[in-house]
Amino acid sequence: MRVMPETMQRERATVAQSSASKPIEAQEVETSPRTLTKVVATIGPASESAEIVRRLILAGVSVFRFNFSHGTWEEHERRLETVRREAGLLGREVACVGDLPGPKIRVGRVPGSGIEVVPGQDVVFRNDLNDARVEDRGGAMTVVLPSTYPDLIGDVQPGHRVLINDGAIRMLAVETTSEELRCRVHVGGLITSGKGINLPQSSVRAPAITERDWEAVEWSIRHEMDYVALSFVRTASEVRELKDRIWQVRSSCKAEGVGGTVLPVIAKIEKPQALENIESIAEVADGIMVARGDLGVEMEIASVPVAQKRIIEVCHRHGTPCIVATQMLETMITSASPTRAEASDVANAVFDGADAVMLSGETAVGKYPEVVVQTMRRIVSAAESYMKDRDAPPRPPRSFDVGHRLTAALAHGAWQAARDLGAKAVVCWSQNAGTARYVSQQDFSMPIVAYSSNPRAVRRMALYRGVTSVLSDPPVSGRLSEWNEQVDAFLLSQHLVQKNDWIVMLAGRPLGQAKRTNTLAVHRVGEQDGGFYGQ
């Protein structure tokens, strides 16, 4: 959301004049109920037009995911411009996440329409092939495949599982030599060019961050994306490596005067090794994504729901935002309604405590992108209503950076005060998004309104559960009481509260500077006392 001091009115007018879209009508409002849990939507061919982007934002999308595994940089730049423009016209703060491709291992080139393999047949991987072929080896027809990963033969040992096409084709390694890896098919199917290969039991030496990833990181920094998601994370050191590289690229970009924003890192949990190291990963990452697609291939599928719960619990302990992703409403790629099981899946992510739920193909290539977002928001709303009626106790984080213990303590105190008073909203000034993050992780069952004059921080806060971010200059007078008046007017205009409702406020002096939050106050909306009046 945006409040409109004179400087921002000029900025908004400039954005509107440069837009080729039709004007946003005043009556255009959200088409789905307000929810605390955020919706992440993948932008793609089905959702890249200005009209659809606008409708998705109105339907409740807070974060757009850009899948760098597909598309050109020109396409991504065009989509980013569209999202920024439409969000600006609507006065909404929307975050953009760049999803790095990662070291995906794939089958090499397979001629024609592919090669069918059947149970009991042998499949051999070799590095000296350009094209797949079928050979007669001692009277048995053996499929010989190239791969995109030269160390496949050395990394896979006899007894390890080798899966192709998201586990649709399942094989077991039976023999390795210096030149070949021989596998036996247990579940057959059609092998075509570029299908993914998963090695759930093998220690893969492929680097977590590829050259394509580094290219994507630099592009994201130069174009001021709000987050970057690291694929196939195994250890916390890989997250640190990416963060170190981001700082290096950021410094270079700032020297050139192009981009240079801090880029928070979301770690995608999709490998068993990441589950083993989830505590240390959650400690260093700025967000976690439960990427259930590859996770469900790499580990026993019956264990995935338990893994999801465990990951979310760890994220709560560390105060790390958590996104649940993959196949949430998969049926709606082609259908206008989900299955009952999919609806339960979305609701269970809310019950588990996810900060956000994500749509992938449903909005990127699906037939009903707006309908699927509306559907997800309705399911989330129903789940949150159930949780609120139960009046479940909060799950505050147990672990915070020592440098931010005061803010974390104030955030927890705000929860207690809001509960005791029956407050309807919590409001904070969060210049760099830190206070908003800590408040968000307190499991509030009410809206959190977070102010900042930093546009990048305001967009980042769009991912945080329950947070409505507001881009605003601090009061010219510097007085907290003037900001208090602005808060009252905003909350009433957005119908978040009614006059005389209690609210809880967190801030510090002077507003607009980072790491200054040191005061908690309570206030009745519309009254000239309490809160920060007189300060």
Residues with catalytic roles = 65, 106, 268, 326
Please state, in angstroms and rounded to a whole number, the distance separating the CA atoms of residues 120 and 183. 10
* Dist CA 442 CA 520 (whole Å): 15
Beta-carbon contacts of residue 94 (< 8 Å; ≥ 6 apart): 57, 61, 62, 63, 64, 83, 87, 459, 462
Which residues, 6 or more positions from 341, have their beta carbon under 8 angstroms from its beta carbon?
none
**186 φ/ψ angles, rounded to the nearest 5 degrees:** -110, -35
> Which string of b and e fits 417-448 if b means at least 16 CB within 10 Å?
bbbeeebbbbbbbbbbbbbbbbbbbbbbbbbb
Dihedral through CA 486, CA 491, CA 495, CA 496, nearest 10?
180
Mutual orientation of helices 50-59 and 73-90 as an angle, nearest 10°? Answer: 50
Backbone φ and ψ of 239, nearest 5° = -65, -45
**Three-class secondary structure of residue 246 per DSSP:** helix
Report the C-alpha gap between 73 and 80 in whole angstroms: 10
Distance CA 182, CA 141 (A): 13
Task: Specify the DSSP class assigned to residue 392.
Answer: P
Spatial separation of the C-alpha atoms in residues 415 and 200, rounded to whole Å: 42
Per-position DSSP letters for 481-500, written without gaps between them: HHHHHHHHHHHHHTTS--TT
The whole-angstrom separation of Cα 489 and Cα 17 is 28
Enter the tokens of residue 414: 């705000």
